[in-house]
Chain A
């Protein structure tokens, strides 16, 4: 089971460019359609959990499927398979990157790429706002969060913790008011 999961995730990890979300359709094809390790419904539940839990979505899904399919050995195989390709490739790049960057041609290429990367980070925001059904009032949350981090240099960790605590507090107050009015 270790090797089967390792091999499957190695394949998924090697051939998905662009991170976690890009991996999901491939995982579905391998794990649900081809191997039949888990069914469609459980796969969808898995995605919901992998997104709700902190951490990398690709790794979270590997842990879940590894556990379901092969217990501890399955987890070890799936996680190693998911992580190793990017680990090895980036390690190889890291070894030469600072030297290569001294080359004028490489620096010129990166001068063109840098603004593109900023655009690639910023552009999906509209789609995300739409799919999160963001209104004028809820828009205050991301605006506050971004301002705190960007201008006040607040660590994002505090912003996330504050979101969790404030939401629970608001729910608690809402609940007790609702009950007392009854």
Chain B
């Protein structure tokens, strides 16, 4: 198994930390992992993306030209990465702020209304965990139990009290994700 994932959105949406939790979850599941961010001025509120690779084999290139899964959180990222999903691959996106929706018919497209759900849960910081929940529901490449372990490892001790809220958000994401029409 090798799963090549791009997660892309605005800086501040938790793109990089979501990727980190996913990578840690992979380690908990004894997978080989790599996490490669876009870095630089993007970090200050522009677009941010991270490539995460989970594999049973040693990861070769951390840099990719196409992806098994694209997790998309803004319009710019959708425009940029939709063409790079492998045929038969997966695209998950939050329609919040999206005006041009995915058009490809040779990939599976899923919708997770994470922004509005996070607003309902009155916790913007759980936004990325809702998205993560949606992903592991559609493609259970890592088990929920390992995601929770991954969370514990990637969060500093002083933030461990937030783990239950994050777990709830992941579960909510698993519930609300739906296939796009």
Q: Do the two shown chains form a genuine complex with each other? A: no
